[in-house]
Structure 1
Amino acid sequence: RERELSGRVADLEAKIAGAREEAAKAQAATEERASQLQRVLDEKAAAAADADTRVKTLERMVREAEERWATVEHAEVTDQQRQLTAKLKELEQRRGTLKEAKADSQKATEECERLRREEALVRDEESRDHRHKMDLEDALERGKKDLRNLRAEIDPIQRELDVNSEELKRLRERRANADALGAEQQKQLDELREDYRTVEVRKREREAELLDLRRKLNSKDFSAAEQLDELQRLRAEEMQRRGEIEEALEAARREFAPLPVTEEALRAELAGLQKSVADGTERVGALRDAIDQIKISDELLRADVAVLEDDLNDMRRLREEWPQREAEMS
């Protein structure tokens, strides 16, 4: 949209420059036509002055003829009087023609003045359009600058949101892995407890066997040496079983080592990341509202450009009507 608006503004500048050149050409043509009409007016004025001089000369000749009326013959005077009367009528006709020419010259002068006023109005309109265009360019530059600033503000927030999303995803994976590991450890712990219960049962059975054996040893069926050998054998078996139990317990302790991070710490970190994501989302919403305002300003600028295009169309229409007006003037 920025490139389109810039292209349209450039086209508008070219159109305004063309209209300005056409107005300059129209002004030059108007001034040239006005100078031609002024020359014609001067010629008509000179002709009128010459006619007035000739009229005065003829009047003087009439007076001289009237003075000669008493000295010349009546026929010659009558013939000369007719000639002079005809010349006077011709001069009156020429004087009327000169008056019409003066009226036409006056109309042409008024038309020139009207055209000059129209040209001044066109120049004023062109100046207003140029100022409006400059205001639009300033507003466009401010909009571009605000858009760049918003983008500069959005980019780090977006990067931060991406980082937080990745961290949240990683924490969720860690939590899922921790839950799976906890479930596995719980399962192994249950198996270990079951083994421990089995060992306890076997131990109790062994203790029962020992008690039974002691009762047998206390009987008179065994000698003292046999009783001692049997006790040493039982003691060695018991020590072996206890070693096996200790090794199993040690292996279980090594296998079920405590996690480096507790669930409470993970929950606290997750809550902090969720709060950061919510804040970033709120800031992004505010920036999107600002972008919507810039879009509205862009639409207003487009409307102003459309008004300027209408003004340019009016100027083109005046340019097309100019030859007809010039023909009417001539």
Structure 2
Amino acid sequence: MNAHDIMGSARRVIDIEAAAVAALSSRIDAQFAAAAEALLECRGRVVVTGMGKSGHIGGKIAATLASTGTPAFFVHPGEASHGDLGMITSQDVVIALSYSGETGEILTILPLIKRLDVPLIAMTGNAQSTLARRADVHLDVAVEIEACPLELAPTASTTATLVMGDALAIALLEARHFTAEDFARSHPGGALGRRLLLTVADIMHTGDRLPLVPESALLREALLEMSAKGLGMTGVVDTEGRLAGVFTDGDLRRTLDQDIDIKHAGIAEHMTRSPKTVTADMLAAEAVRMLQTHRIGGGALLVVDADNRPQGALNMQDFLRAGVI
């Protein structure tokens, strides 16, 4: 095959699988709604099982369900008949995947699943198969042809099954009002978890590391405070300790353009009054969004309490180090 033939083959596969997925839309019917209802009512876990390529797809479906608010795990049907069936309880729901609907390892454990009297959802390509007929709910994932020209390797059928599983998972996610924060709680070690779970309090500078000067301070005193704390800014507080303003590197540049006497000028004359601030309990991601929305120069923010007293400070480098950006 030359390059043209190879690209043609790849496009044919994509077209066949895209058509298989598109055909699923008309099969989202009362059976799909019944499957979703059974899963929503499940008081235990969703147990997904499948053999061979269907097993690989089943593992992905179980993982997607688990990470989107529906507790689920995968059980290998071959292992199930040798002890792993003990993982299934009367509170569970079983999703069985078999394109033919006649996979021996799954049919072997069907009587045991029925004895437990748990709801059985089947995904097959044959509505007249043994598995489809014995299931409480059948989801049709039949395809016209496989992308494999030999009609041997599961290709379009496994893609259709995966998409049907995704459709179930997302329908359940929306029915449960599952949020991005809920998703992050099951992914605390990843970038998403850091972005959605970290609060400003987790990364802000406090105590002696918080740059602050009184409103009566001279500009040069404010510059010394900025240099000492290294955040590219300093807060300015009034006599009661409330935030009166902020002075940043950007303010310094604008002040120098005015050709003033830095040694004798007061900070109150050159600070930015009523600056944008955040609270300690705000999500770090929200604080980043504020920086971007208001185009705050240098990415510096002061953290205040309910009385507008400074509690902390942070800048863009803090967000970068925390992995929020």
Give TM class, smaller chain: under 0.3
Structure 1-normalised TM-score? 0.21
Bigger fraction of residues in strand: 2
Q: Which has the larger radius of gyration?
A: 1
Bigger fraction of residues in helix: 1
Structure 2-normalised TM-score? 0.21
- Bigger relative contact order, structure 1 or 2 (CA pairs below 8 A, ≥6 apart): 1
